[in-house]
């Protein structure tokens, strides 16, 4: 679909729509695409009409160059997408950076979501993110990252996505995540995601905005006990920012629990979304 976005301009946004029932928006994370929700399309689609976008600069959506990919701008984009699709006020699930983007959209427009489930999101100004920003500020960092990705995009995707059970990785997955990164502008958009969305200052602003919320819809925080990508300790920190939210743990799963712990993910998600039995 064509979308007129305030932060990203006129762009093509790819959205998978499937299932039946009330709308449910699923938002993927950094370096992945809507493909990450592949195992959820059938079980969630029994109860909901699923709207599964590729974020700007990811998958089959455009990655406008010259735009700022801050978590706030991506949150604005998500609200614009809801408006264009006619699903403002729907339930939302966001994974990883997608969870932080959903939280930013909620902070901007609390009425835009009926309820929100955040699955293993980053969102705090940790030391490793300051170090990342220092590295990205070095001359030539964008060119170097682009070269590293384009020389072996499937290997890059394969090495940087981690599961509880690493045998779940596949060539198909590596192609889905690696191909957009290797496409013209793909590595540049990814660099901007790292520089602007995964930015400690942007996260500091996000947490301040969330703490300022006087009212918000039901929120569930879902974290795995072990995750090499986003530290599990962030779950309790999100709970501090959103005291009314509930925090649940997955014992055997990862950052991508909807991929490597689908039963546990559904057990925590379906009741929260109002599905009984």
**pLDDT tens-place values along the chain, 277 residues long:** 999 999 999 999 999 999 999 999 999 999 999 999 999 999 999 999 999 999 999 999 999 988 999 999 999 999 999 999 999 999 999 999 999 999 999 999 999 999 999 999 999 999 999 999 999 999 999 999 999 999 999 999 999 999 988 888 999 999 999 999 999 999 999 999 999 999 999 999 999 999 999 899 999 999 999 888 899 999 999 999 999 999 999 999 999 999 999 999 999 999 999 998 7
Tell me 56's DSSP state.
T
Pairing of strands 15-19, 49-53: antiparallel
Taking alpha carbons only, the member of 152, 127, 174 closest to residue 31 is 174
Q: How far apart are CA 62 and CA 70, in angstroms?
A: 16
Domains of the chain in start order, with CATH, are 2-124+201-269 (3.40.50.1820)
What pTM was estimated for this model as a whole? 0.97
Taking alpha carbons only, the member of 49, 58, 96, 50 closest to residue 77 is 58
Taking alpha carbons only, the member of 219, 261, 239, 192 closest to residue 30 is 192
CA distances from 104 to 5, 145, 170 (A): 16, 27, 32
């Amino acid at each position: 679909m064509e979308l007129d976005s305030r932060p990203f301009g006129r762009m093509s946004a790819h959205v998978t729509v499937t299932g039946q029932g009330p709308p449910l928006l699923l938002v993927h994370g950094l370096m992945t695409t809507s493909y990450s929700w592949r195992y959820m399309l059938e079980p969630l689609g029994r109860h909901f009409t699923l709207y599964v976008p590729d974020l700007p600069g990811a998958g089959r959506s455009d990655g406008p160059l010259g735009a700022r990919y801050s978590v706030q701008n991506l949150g604005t984009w998500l609200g614009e997408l809801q408006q264009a699709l006619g699903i403002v006020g729907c339930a939302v699930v966001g994974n990883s950076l997608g969870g932080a983007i959903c939280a930013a959209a909620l902070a901007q427009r609390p009425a835009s979501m009926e309820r929100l489930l955040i699955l293993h999101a980053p969102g705090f100004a940790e030391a490793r993110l300051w170090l990342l920003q220092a590295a990205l500020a070095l001359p030539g960092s964008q060119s170097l990252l682009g070269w590293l990705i384009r020389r072996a995009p499937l290997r890059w995707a394969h090495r940087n996505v981690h599961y509880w059970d690493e045998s779940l990785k596949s060539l198909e997955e590596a192609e889905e995540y690696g191909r957009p990164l290797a496409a013209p502008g793909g590595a540049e958009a990814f660099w901007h995601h790292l520089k602007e969305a995964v930015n400690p200052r942007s996260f500091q602003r996000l947490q301040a905005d969330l703490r300022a919320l006087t009212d918000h819809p039901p929120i569930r925080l879902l974290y795995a006990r072990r995750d090499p990508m986003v530290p599990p300790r962030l779950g309790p920190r999100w709970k501090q920012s959103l005291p009314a939210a509930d925090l649940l743990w997955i014992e055997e799963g990862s950052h991508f629990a909807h991929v490597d712990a689908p039963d546990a993910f559904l057990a925590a998600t379906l009741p929260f979304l109002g599905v009984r039995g």
